[in-house]
Structures are given as C-alpha cells and as structure tokens.
C-alpha cells in the first residue's frame, strides 16, 4: 500500500514485456483483476501517455468487459481516434463459430459488420456509410 486513502496497490517495472501489476484467475468463471468505482469515477482506467500508445488492450475470450447499472459500460478517449478495431485476417463477415447479437467485426478490407442475431455463425449485416 502506498499511502492511506491513496493508491491501494502499486507495481512498477521497466523490463520490456512485463507488467507492473498482474492478476490471474484460473477457475472457470472469474476475473484476474477487478476494479470498482463509485460516483462519477471509473472502475478501471487504462492510460498511456506515449505517442501512439494504447490505453486498454484486451486478449482472450472476453479481453475487457465494462459494465454499469445506470451509466456507460465504456468510454474511450484518444488523440488519434476513440476506438481502433484491428482488421481481421479474412475478407467478409464471419462464417464459422458461435456469435452474439451486437458483435462488431472489421474484415481485412476494413469493411464493418454487425451481428444482428445470435447463432452459428449468427446473422451479419454490413454497415455502410457515405463518403465524408
């Protein structure tokens, strides 16, 4: 503990590829790290001040989950853009695997799709826009 009423857990490293703080859950359901905020604060804040840095990065089945009972599940602010969807490896909408209504997928050609009905592979619609 760094100080009473201040930072509860503090970790730091300068070694490439390692984390300052790490949490791990090895059961079938749970969280490696859980952050809870009250008032207008955030439960978890990811911040990177380096040029081109990433504030929050998720991996795994559900890399990052945001939830609020009466506010926003997530908020993203960025100097370059608020959100970056890394394009998938294939062209077109997903054609295999189980998918859930509400998923967004960007293919290798930067075409954006939304899953409108859960299923295997789900029902997908391409999102189209006009030129700016």
The pair of structure tokens assigned to 128 is 């189209």
Write the DSSP symbol of residue 4. Answer: T
- The pLDDT confidence band at residue 15, using thresholds 50, 70 and 90, is very high
pLDDT in tens, 85-111: 999 999 999 999 999 999 999 999 999
Q: Which residue in 100, 95, 129 sits closest to 115, CA to CA? A: 100
- The pLDDT confidence band at residue 1, using thresholds 50, 70 and 90, is very low
On whether the CB atoms of residues 58 and 66 are closer than 8 A, the answer is: no
How many whole angstroms separate alpha carbon 29 and alpha carbon 32? Answer: 10
On whether the CB atoms of residues 107 and 122 are closer than 8 A, the answer is: no
pTM for this one?
0.69
- More confident of the two residues 12 and 129: 12
């Amino acid at each position: 503990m760094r100080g009473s009423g201040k930072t509860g857990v503090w970790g730091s490293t300068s070694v490439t590829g390692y984390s300052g703080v790490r949490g791990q859950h090895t059961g079938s359901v749970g969280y490696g790290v859980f952050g809870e905020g009250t008032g207008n604060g955030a439960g978890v804040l990811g911040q990177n001040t380096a040029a081109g840095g990433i504030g929050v990065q998720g991996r795994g089945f559900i890399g990052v989950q945001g939830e609020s009972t009466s506010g926003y599940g997530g908020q993203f602010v960025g100097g370059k853009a608020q959100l970056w969807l890394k394009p998938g490896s294939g062209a077109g909408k997903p054609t295999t695997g189980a998918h859930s209504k509400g998923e967004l997928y960007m293919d290798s050609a930067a075409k954006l799709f939304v899953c409108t009905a859960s299923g295997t592979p789900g029902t997908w619609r391409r999102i189209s826009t006009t030129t700016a």
